[in-house]
Amino acid sequence: MAQQVVGAAQIQTTADQLDDLKMRALDVLSRYQQHSMELQASGGLDGQAGVANVATADEISRAQREMNMRWESLIAALRNSAPDFTNIDTQSAQQIQSVAGGLRFT
Protein backbone atom coordinates (compact mmCIF):
# COMPACT_ATOMS: atom_id res chain seq x y z
CA MET A 1 0.00 0.00 0.00
CA ALA A 2 1.45 3.33 -1.05
CA GLN A 3 1.85 5.98 1.58
CA GLN A 4 -0.06 9.17 0.91
CA VAL A 5 1.37 12.49 2.01
CA VAL A 6 -1.18 15.15 2.88
CA GLY A 7 -0.11 18.66 2.05
CA ALA A 8 -1.58 22.13 1.90
CA ALA A 9 -3.09 21.56 -1.55
CA GLN A 10 -4.99 18.47 -0.39
CA ILE A 11 -6.30 20.29 2.67
CA GLN A 12 -7.45 23.23 0.52
CA THR A 13 -9.07 20.87 -2.00
CA THR A 14 -10.93 19.11 0.81
CA ALA A 15 -12.16 22.45 2.18
CA ASP A 16 -13.35 23.45 -1.31
CA GLN A 17 -15.16 20.13 -1.77
CA LEU A 18 -16.85 20.45 1.61
CA ASP A 19 -17.87 24.02 0.76
CA ASP A 20 -19.44 22.77 -2.48
CA LEU A 21 -21.34 20.00 -0.66
CA LYS A 22 -22.51 22.51 1.95
CA MET A 23 -23.80 24.86 -0.75
CA ARG A 24 -25.67 22.02 -2.47
CA ALA A 25 -27.32 20.93 0.77
CA LEU A 26 -28.25 24.50 1.67
CA ASP A 27 -29.72 24.99 -1.80
CA VAL A 28 -31.99 21.96 -1.38
CA LEU A 29 -33.13 23.13 2.04
CA SER A 30 -33.72 26.68 0.79
CA ARG A 31 -35.83 25.40 -2.08
CA TYR A 32 -37.86 23.26 0.32
CA GLN A 33 -38.51 26.26 2.53
CA GLN A 34 -39.44 28.43 -0.47
CA HIS A 35 -41.88 25.82 -1.78
CA SER A 36 -43.42 25.46 1.68
CA MET A 37 -43.93 29.21 1.94
CA GLU A 38 -45.44 29.37 -1.54
CA LEU A 39 -47.74 26.46 -0.76
CA GLN A 40 -48.89 28.14 2.44
CA ALA A 41 -49.36 31.54 0.77
CA SER A 42 -51.41 30.04 -2.04
CA GLY A 43 -53.73 28.28 0.41
CA GLY A 44 -52.64 24.90 -0.90
CA LEU A 45 -52.67 23.51 2.61
CA ASP A 46 -55.26 24.46 5.20
CA GLY A 47 -55.95 23.32 8.72
CA GLN A 48 -53.60 20.96 10.50
CA ALA A 49 -51.67 20.17 7.31
CA GLY A 50 -50.94 23.86 6.81
CA VAL A 51 -49.85 24.30 10.42
CA ALA A 52 -47.63 21.20 10.17
CA ASN A 53 -46.15 22.49 6.91
CA VAL A 54 -45.22 25.83 8.47
CA ALA A 55 -43.80 24.18 11.60
CA THR A 56 -41.73 21.75 9.52
CA ALA A 57 -40.41 24.53 7.29
CA ASP A 58 -39.40 26.50 10.40
CA GLU A 59 -37.59 23.47 11.86
CA ILE A 60 -35.77 22.90 8.58
CA SER A 61 -34.80 26.57 8.45
CA ARG A 62 -33.31 26.37 11.96
CA ALA A 63 -31.45 23.18 11.04
CA GLN A 64 -30.18 24.89 7.89
CA ARG A 65 -28.73 27.80 9.88
CA GLU A 66 -27.11 25.42 12.39
CA MET A 67 -25.68 23.26 9.62
CA ASN A 68 -24.30 26.31 7.86
CA MET A 69 -22.56 27.55 11.02
CA ARG A 70 -21.02 24.15 11.79
CA TRP A 71 -19.85 23.50 8.23
CA GLU A 72 -18.43 27.03 8.01
CA SER A 73 -16.45 26.42 11.21
CA LEU A 74 -15.06 23.16 9.85
CA ILE A 75 -14.20 24.64 6.45
CA ALA A 76 -12.54 27.68 8.05
CA ALA A 77 -10.49 25.43 10.34
CA LEU A 78 -9.29 23.41 7.34
CA ARG A 79 -8.44 26.51 5.33
CA ASN A 80 -6.64 28.10 8.28
CA SER A 81 -4.60 24.96 8.92
CA ALA A 82 -3.65 24.35 5.27
CA PRO A 83 -0.50 26.53 5.40
CA ASP A 84 0.77 24.39 8.28
CA PHE A 85 0.91 21.45 5.87
CA THR A 86 3.22 23.15 3.37
CA ASN A 87 6.35 21.03 2.99
CA ILE A 88 5.36 19.04 6.08
CA ASP A 89 6.89 15.83 4.72
CA THR A 90 10.24 17.48 4.06
CA GLN A 91 10.22 19.21 7.44
CA SER A 92 9.35 15.98 9.22
CA ALA A 93 12.15 14.13 7.44
CA GLN A 94 14.65 16.81 8.46
CA GLN A 95 13.51 16.69 12.08
CA ILE A 96 13.75 12.92 12.17
CA GLN A 97 17.22 13.02 10.62
CA SER A 98 18.36 15.57 13.21
CA VAL A 99 17.63 13.10 16.01
CA ALA A 100 20.58 10.93 14.98
CA GLY A 101 22.88 13.97 15.00
CA GLY A 102 21.91 14.67 18.61
CA LEU A 103 22.83 11.20 19.84
CA ARG A 104 26.35 10.73 21.20
CA PHE A 105 27.84 7.51 22.24
CA THR A 106 30.66 7.92 24.70
Cα–Cα distance, 91 to 97 (Å, whole number):
10
What's the Rg (C-alpha) of the chain? Answer: 25
pLDDT for 102 equals 65
95 domain residue, yes or no = yes
Number of domains into which the chain is organized: 1
Closest CA to 11 of 92, 72, 76: 76
62 domain residue, yes or no = yes
57 domain residue, yes or no = yes
pLDDT for 36 equals 87
1 domain residue, yes or no = no
Size of the chain, expressed as the number of residues it contains:
106
Cα–Cα distance, 54 to 96 (Å, whole number):
60
pLDDT for 47 equals 85
Average pLDDT per run of 10 along the chain, which is 106 residues long? Answer: 74 94 92 88 85 89 92 94 78 78 63
33 domain residue, yes or no = yes
